[in-house]
Structure 1
Amino acid sequence: MSAEDRRESVVRAAITEFARGGYHGTSTEAIAKRVGVSQPYLFRLFPNKQAMFLAASERCLVETRKVFMEAAEGLEGEEALHAMAAAYQRLIVDDADKLLMQMQMYAAIAAAEASGDREFGESVRRGWVRMWDEVHLVLGADQNETTTFLAYGMLINTLASLGFPADHRIWSGFYDSSKPVGPPAG
């Protein structure tokens, strides 16, 4: 396997491990073990744990943006909005690690910044801005639509992360057809 293939394996393993254990609760040993490489080899691919975490975070955001853009391709307005919402629901149901990784990256960055390390979150903020900009364009550059769509997505992330089942009353507000996002399936 090439170094690039190994690097890709590390990013995928890092998403899984960080999603489950968070930044501080995940060891590089666990990531190396999941990939099937030694820790010294892992550090030939990435300079440190933070670089692995940021690569996993960036991948998570890139894949989320890709899901949105593919779902909205050729659509406009309300159709694009509903297509992106449905695609995101499928993503967080089918790949729970992506949802958990998102939540872990927000927590890790908030903790780092609370201790004075603002640099840690810069690449994630850039990724979020790219996502905002792409969604914003798809939704006709409507500030309110973009804000509402992403706000509902964050609420869904929170409720799903807390483990509310799809039939719980907490999701009832999502059933209104005028809302951009519905409850997660399953």
Structure 2
Amino acid sequence: MATEDSRRLSADDRREQILAAASVVFGERGYAGGTTDAIAREAGISQAYVVRMFGSKERLFRATAERAAIKVREAFIRELDALGDGASREDTQRALGGAYAGLMADRGLLLSLLHLFSQGHDETLAPVARGCFLDIYRLVRERGGMSGEQATAFFAQGMLMTVLFAMRMPDAAGDADAQELMACAFGEKRDELIQLGLLHEPLDRAPRS
């Protein structure tokens, strides 16, 4: 949990501080289980400040998920810019896959998106979920030069990686089948991602209401 910072932060810096904390809490506990109180404690600020800045848990959750989608998009754009024109499809997929795997160092980032995608029943959040996903899909199709089938396979592997991380599959690293599954899903990043998963400390079991 973050400690109280005596420096006077700008509104933008404070907003980012809250969203980073919200990513941790929503990533761990989901939309239903995450609370503004838990997020405030993670950020080291008052719950009143969190509510005053975002107004409601729904708006905070939406902002957290949109921040995560933007970070995925920005990571992909950096890789595409670095590759330049004329890169092979294999190099593009390898670069984007590596960028996605690198984002897993911030466990809550991708898991908060995963929780957003599970809110397809919610009239307010469902359009946000579809919009975030399709925005990144279009980037991969248009700038990444992938066909629909190639992009689908790319996203399928990325979602599998996220799901394995969500269920803490690295905790079962001693199981041969788990090792095989993670080797196929994580590729050359397997050992690094298993270590990241094992180092993650779950949030405390404080009351969630």
TM-score normalised by the chain length of structure 2: 0.74
In 2, Cα distance between the equivalents of 1:121 and 1:43?
A: 23
In 2, Cα distance between the equivalents of 1:163 and 1:47?
A: 32
- Rate the CA distance shift 1:43–1:146 in 2: closer, same or farther, 3 A: same
Task: Say yes or no: does 1:79 pair with 2:91.
Answer: yes
Q: Which has the higher contact order (CA 8 A, sep 6+)?
A: 1
Gaps of 5+ in 2: 1-8, 193-209
| Residue in structure 1 matched with residue 206 of structure 2 by the alignment | none
What is the Cα deviation at residue 22 of structure 1? 1.2
Matches within 5 A, 1:81-120: 81-92=93-104, 94-107=105-118, 109-110=119-120, 113=121, 117-120=122-125
Gaps of 5+ in 1: 176-180
Q: How many residues align?
A: 174
- Rate the CA distance shift 1:174–1:100 in 2: closer, same or farther, 3 A: closer
What is the Cα deviation at residue 119 of structure 1? 2.0
Structure 1 runs (4+) deviating above 4 angstroms are: none
SS in 2 for 1:185: helix
In 1, Cα distance between the equivalents of 2:185 and 2:65?
A: 28
| Residue in structure 2 matched with residue 185 of structure 1 by the alignment | 191
Name whichever of 144-153 and 159-168 sits farther off.
Answer: 159-168
Say whether the 8 Å CA contact 2:141–2:147 is kept in structure 1: yes
Query: In structure 1, what residue type is equivalent to 2:144?
Result: L
In 2, Cα distance between the equivalents of 1:162 and 1:183?
A: 18
- Rate the CA distance shift 1:8–1:168 in 2: closer, same or farther, 3 A: same
Query: In structure 1, what residue type is equivalent to 2:110?
Result: L
Query: In structure 1, what residue type is equivalent to 2:112?
Result: M
SS in 1 for 2:169: coil
Alignment root-mean-square deviation, CA: 2.1
Query: In structure 1, what residue type is equivalent to 2:102?
Result: R
| Residue in structure 1 matched with residue 199 of structure 2 by the alignment | none
Query: In structure 2, what residue type is equivalent to 1:132?
Result: Y
In 2, Cα distance between the equivalents of 1:172 and 1:26?
A: 32
Say whether the 8 Å CA contact 1:72–1:81 is kept in structure 2: no
What is the Cα deviation at residue 182 of structure 1? 5.2
- Rate the CA distance shift 1:3–1:134 in 2: closer, same or farther, 3 A: same
What is the Cα deviation at residue 90 of structure 1? 2.1
Identity fraction in percent: 29
Query: In structure 1, what residue type is equivalent to 2:90?
Result: E
TM-score normalised by the chain length of structure 1: 0.83
| Residue in structure 1 matched with residue 143 of structure 2 by the alignment | 138
- 2:33 aligned to 25, 34, 37, which one? 25
In 1, Cα distance between the equivalents of 2:184 and 2:43?
A: 42
Q: Deviations over 1:42-94 (max 9, x none)?
A: 222111000000000001111111112212224322211111111212221x2
Matches within 5 A, 1:152-163: 152-163=157-168
